[in-house]
Structure 1
């Protein structure tokens, strides 16, 4: 039990650091990077704002996953993880991953049809498969959480 509390505390520290770094990326790094790329390569400058919006959206999806994970950790700490409330936070994670995947698939299709080098489309394909696996894994984990929640509520009603 003590190890679990230490792991939750450590995970929370890392989630705060990750969230802070992501905010810096969202606000400063990504817009600045795409502005710099537009100045360096004027032929591709038309992609500055779409690339900025898509990148900021992906960071936002990760931030939603972080917030939902934080809330789930709170439920773990209070020993309330096997309740209906936890399923809503897992749904938030699934929806964030799904939204990120849909946009990633769109970017993959756009780049795939316009690329003259197979490197970037292959990387985007690999990322698409990885995010799809993560999303499907979360759906399976949600089903397991639902079963555990049902079993716990059944046990509590018996006791």
Structure 2
């Protein structure tokens, strides 16, 4: 893979990581405070909401770190190893945890009747995208497994 592509992708990952950090420490608490003012009857959900949002963003950060590590392995041409499978499995788990947290938030907010349409759409979209991305990574893990076996067979022939 081209060094320029790896560098560009790592730059985007670094920027996304910084954005998620800013969201965790600034944006999420501000939005939670705004929601507590808009729906004072469920202001007790402010802290659980902050914790849940931070956990979802943390799952995203885990995935970003996994992709960074996989890119480094690709650059070193060591992607066909058992370490790659562990990294992919961690990314899959983080994505599904985030999707479950988004679904849980949707259910809780709907149960207490504090679910604006925009928030509902974002939670549903996030959960569906997370589920789809997790399933896509499962397929990609299968392709990595086949490619690893072919690489091992080729190494045995040579």
CA RMSD of aligned residues (A): 2.0
Q: How many residues align?
A: 157
Pair 1:47-2:41 in alignment: no
Partner residue, 2:11: 13
Q: How does 1:9-158 map to 2 (within 5 A)?
A: 9-39=7-37, 41-115=39-113, 119=117, 120-158=119-157
Go from structure 1 to structure 2 and tell me whether the alpha carbon gap of 1:123 and 1:24 turns closer, same or farther (over 3 Å shift): closer
Q: How far does residue 126 in structure 1 lie from its aligned partner after superposition?
A: 3.4
CA distance in 2, matches of 1:138, 1:124: 21
Go from structure 1 to structure 2 and tell me whether the alpha carbon gap of 1:124 and 1:95 turns closer, same or farther (over 3 Å shift): same
CA distance in 2, matches of 1:135, 1:91: 10
Gaps of 5+ in 2: none
CA distance in 1, matches of 2:47, 2:71: 36
Q: How far does residue 145 in structure 1 lie from its aligned partner after superposition?
A: 0.4
Stretch deviating more after TM superposition (42-51 or 114-123): 114-123
Q: Report the TM-score when normalising by structure 2.
A: 0.88
Go from structure 1 to structure 2 and tell me whether the alpha carbon gap of 1:5 and 1:156 turns closer, same or farther (over 3 Å shift): same
Go from structure 1 to structure 2 and tell me whether the alpha carbon gap of 1:40 and 1:121 turns closer, same or farther (over 3 Å shift): closer
CA distance in 1, matches of 2:40, 2:125: 29
Deviations 1:74-104 (A, max 9, x none): 1011011121111111111101001111112
Q: How far does residue 154 in structure 1 lie from its aligned partner after superposition?
A: 1.4
Q: Is the 8 A contact 2:42 2:114 kept in 1?
A: no
